[in-house]
Structure 1
Amino acid sequence: MTTLTFELPDGSTESVTVTTLLNAGYAGRDQAEVASHIAELAELGVPAPTTIPAMYPISPYLAQQTSEVHVQHGHTSGEAEWALVITGPTRDDVLLTVACDHTDRDLEVHSVAWSKNASPDVLGTGAWRLAEVADRLDDITLRAWVGDDETLIQDGTLGDLLSPDHWLDVLTERGLFRAGTVLMSGTVSMVPGVDQFANSWKVELRDPATDRSLTCAYRTVAMPSPIG
């Protein structure tokens, strides 16, 4: 199992062994925009979800704090997200961190769930207690940059996505609110015209009230070609 360790603003650390990893999908608050996005994906051959929003179970060991993501080909890319990390039995025990869901786009046309199990969910090493930023969540920005020149590819706020409380309610209803559960938020729209198939990704959460930020960043590493 994977154990994640996070540094909090006061200098303390929290560690948790991941037992359940979940990726939310189609999780924008503007469901008309989500429907438009689904239609765009359908033109690329990506199957539509049967339920909106969706939630995909991911192998727990794919929750990683890493600077490298090994990929099988050049048609993979990340998605800027926030993540909830549950460390104890109450909502005071929930951490908020920055994350990037690296996805196999070739596999995505066959199954979104399969595509998200092909690469890790990269999480930052810093976190905030959710309760301490709950009064200003919608104002926290979520941005991503790609490539050596750090081209901006995603730019939104947490207000663009379904709230952490929404997903905590879902976890509670399903008996998944427990220490060791990590939930990824789903992502915001990409900037048109930017090549998402870059060799590096950087994601940032920034709290404008305190000017504090959380980041995660990694480079992709091509695996050797298969034999046979």
Structure 2
Amino acid sequence: MKLSFDVAGGAPLAVTLTDLVVAGWAGRDMAAIEHHIEELFAIGVPRPSAVPLYYRAAENLMTQGDRIQVIGGETSGEVETFVFSAGGDMYVSLASDHTDRRLETQSVALSKQICAKPIATTAWKFSEVADHWDALIIRAFIEENGARVLYQEGPLAALRPPSELIAGFTGGAAALPEGVGMICGTVSAIGGIRPAAAFSMELEDPVMGRILRHSYAVDVLPEVA
């Protein structure tokens, strides 16, 4: 999948990613992980076999558009950081691990494969935020009853750092191979996991005073038999 990013302080970047990895159960605090596991268990999702887990998804699910289409009304987004390597540097952007929640009760892996994965069009060099990674904040808003509602918010200190997730996936290497994109885990939903017609996400760097943003609408297609 060919993606394009506007990189802060640098030239526009075009990359071709051939593999997509979704790091699940990526919390740093086991109590927080258990909370998220219980949050999903409440809607019927089985407990994971290991923590973290590395789900694979088709690379053509990645999209930088402002709209996705889903089957049925039981899907929802999750704000996450997105990391990839290009030209010897690692970059960080934003992604939504949009997931079919009904299918998730049967197979987490298939529920992730069934939905598009929105990716932001802006990015930072990882080296610019590595020394204050834990201070970065991810948040998401949904459209609910005509209002913009805060849906997720938390510091990246609550999640395993990318170097640890990458090493777990690669068997020890600290950087992703070029061509691989990794979605790096999320924080709990405020008020519970639920669908929405629109999803907005942010990655805030309070140290350098900047924010990455991306939004998308969700079109629900009819489920026919």
Q: If the TM-score is normalised by the length of the shorter chain, which range does it land in?
A: over 0.9
Alpha-carbon RMSD: 1.8
Structure 1 CA distance for aligned equivalents of residues 82 and 156 of structure 2 = 11
Identity %: 36
Structure 1: stretches of 5+ with no match in the other structure = none
Q: Which residue of 1 aligns with 2:200?
A: 202
1:111 aligns with 2:107: yes
Greater mean alpha carbon deviation, residues 162-171 or residues 182-191? 162-171
Q: Which TM-score applies when normalising by structure 1?
A: 0.91
Structure 2 CA distance for aligned equivalents of residues 36 and 97 of structure 1 = 26
Relative to 1, partners in 2 of residues 1:154 and 1:36: Cα closer, same or farther, differing over 3 Å? closer
Q: Deviations over 1:105-142 (max 9, x none)?
A: 01000011100011111110000000111111111110
**Partner of residue 137 from structure 2, selected from 141, 151, 154:** 141
Give the number of equivalent residue pairs. Answer: 222
Q: Which residue of 2 aligns with 1:74?
A: 73
Greater mean alpha carbon deviation, residues 115-124 or residues 169-178? 169-178
Q: Deviations over 1:139-195 (max 9, x none)?
A: 1110000005220010101111110111232343278932110000111011126x7
Structure 2: stretches of 5+ with no match in the other structure = none
1:101 aligns with 2:97: yes
Structure 1 CA distance for aligned equivalents of residues 185 and 118 of structure 2 = 13
Give the structure with the larger strand fraction.
2
Contact 2:72 2:222 in 1 (8 A): no
After TM superposition, give the deviation of residue 18 of structure 1 in Å: 1.2
Q: Which residue of 2 aligns with 1:173?
A: 171
Corresponding letter in the other structure for 2:25: Y
Contact 1:146 1:196 in 2 (8 A): no
Q: Which residue of 2 aligns with 1:16?
A: 15
Q: Which TM-score applies when normalising by structure 2?
A: 0.92
1:211 aligns with 2:209: yes
Structure 2 CA distance for aligned equivalents of residues 15 and 25 of structure 1 = 27
